[in-house]
C-alpha cells in the first residue's frame, strides 16, 4: 500500500506535505516519492520515459488540481495484459499450425505471434504456462487417440465392430476422439480436425482433464 495524500474530512482540502509525511510514519505505510518540475510539459516528457515497472505519476498543480500521467511502456503492457486470460489464450489456439494468435489490440483483431514465446508478457507466468500446457495436452491426447484408433482398426476392419470395440475398451470422454482418429486413419479426415475437436473439449470453463482418463 502506498500513501498518495491525506484529505481533511472537515474542509475537504488536502493537508500539507509535512502532515502527509507524519501520517505515513504513523500508519507505517510507504509514501509516494515527490518530484518537482518547472512546468507540465517537463513532467509529461519525463513520465513517458518511465519503465514498465512504474505506472506513472500524479501531477499536482499549484491550485490543487490533479491529473495522472502514465509511462509509454506501462500503457503498452496494459494493452497486452488486457487481452490475456486463459479463455483468450484457449480461443487463440490455431490447430492447423499448432500455434496461437494473440488478441493484443482489439482494433486490429487477432495477429500471428511468435509460436515459441506467444508474446505473452513475463509478468504473466501462469498464462504462459497454461498456453504451453494447452498445446502439449492437445498433442498428447491426439497421439493417444490415434494409438487407440490403430488398436481398434487392427481388431477389425468393420466400422460397426470398431465402434463397439472403442465403446467397450476406452473412456467415454475419448470415444469421440478415437472415432475421429479412425476417420483420419481411413483418409476421411485430417489430424487437424482431430486437434480442433480436442481443443473445443478443453475449453477452460468446462474444467476438464483428459489426462486423468
At 111-142, the pLDDT tens digits run 444 444 456 666 678 888 888 899 999 999 99
Same domain for 160 and 99: yes
Q: Which residues of 137-173 are buried (b: 16+ CB within 10 A; e: fewer)?
A: bbeebbebbbebbeebbeeeeeeeebbebbeeebeee
Going by pLDDT thresholds of 50, 70 and 90, the confidence category of residue 210 is low
- Phi and psi at 101, nearest 5°, equal -115, 115
Mean pLDDT on 9-26: 83
Same domain for 103 and 61: no
Say which residues have a Cβ less than 8 Å from residue 106's Cβ, sequence separation at least 6.
83
Same domain for 89 and 65: no
**Contact yes or no for 92/98 (Cβ under 8 A):** no
Same domain for 139 and 38: no
Mean pLDDT on 32-38: 82
Same domain for 202 and 120: yes
Is the per-residue pLDDT at 193 higher than 80?
yes
Q: What domain range includes position 118?
A: 83-212
Same domain for 167 and 97: yes
pLDDT given for residue 83 in this prediction:
62
Same domain for 111 and 201: yes
Same domain for 89 and 62: no
pLDDT given for residue 209 in this prediction:
57
Number of folded domains in the chain? 2
Going by pLDDT thresholds of 50, 70 and 90, the confidence category of residue 104 is very low
pLDDT given for residue 41 in this prediction:
85
Going by pLDDT thresholds of 50, 70 and 90, the confidence category of residue 18 is confident
* The last residue of a domain, from among 61, 76, 91: 76
* The last residue of a domain, from among 76, 103, 123: 76
Same domain for 116 and 47: no
Same domain for 138 and 67: no
Same domain for 71 and 168: no
Chain mean pLDDT for the chain: 80
Same domain for 136 and 93: yes
* The last residue of a domain, from among 53, 76, 99: 76
Burial of 43: CB neighbours in 10 Å, binned 0-12, 13-18, 19+: middle
Is the per-residue pLDDT at 160 higher than 80?
yes
Between 147 and 97, whose confidence is greater? 147
Amino acid at each position: 500500500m502506498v500513501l498518495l495524500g491525506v484529505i481533511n474530512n472537515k474542509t475537504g482540502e488536502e493537508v500539507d506535505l509535512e502532515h502527509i509525511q507524519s501520517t505515513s510514519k504513523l500508519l507505517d505505510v510507504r509514501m509516494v516519492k515527490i518530484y518537482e518540475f518547472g512546468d507540465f510539459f517537463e513532467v509529461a516528457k519525463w513520465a513517458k520515459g518511465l519503465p514498465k515497472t512504474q505506472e506513472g505519476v500524479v501531477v499536482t498543480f499549484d491550485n490543487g488540481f490533479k491529473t495522472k500521467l502514465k509511462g509509454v511502456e506501462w500503457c503498452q503492457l496494459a494493452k497486452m495484459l488486457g487481452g490475456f486470460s486463459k479463455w483468450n489464450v484457449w480461443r487463440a489456439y490455431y490447430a492447423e499450425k499448432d500455434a496461437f494468435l494473440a488478441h493484443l489490440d482489439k482494433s486490429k483483431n487477432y495477429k500471428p505471434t511468435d509460436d515459441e514465446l506467444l508474446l505473452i508478457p513475463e509478468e504473466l507466468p501462469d498464462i504462459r504456462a497454461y498456453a504451453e500446457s494447452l498445446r502439449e495436452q492437445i498433442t498428447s491426447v491426439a497421439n493417444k487417440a490415434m494409438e487407440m484408433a490403430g488398436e481398434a482398426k487392427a481388431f477389425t476392419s468393420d466400422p460397426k465392430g470398431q465402434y463397439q470395440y472403442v465403446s467397450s475398451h476406452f473412456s467415454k470422454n475419448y470415444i469421440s476422439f478415437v472415432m475421429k482418429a479412425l476417420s483420419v486413419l481411413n483418409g476421411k479426415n485430417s489430424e487437424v480436425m482431430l486437434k480442433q475437436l480436442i481443443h473445443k473439449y478443453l475449453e477452460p470453463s468446462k474444467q476438464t482433464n483428459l489426462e486423468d482418463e
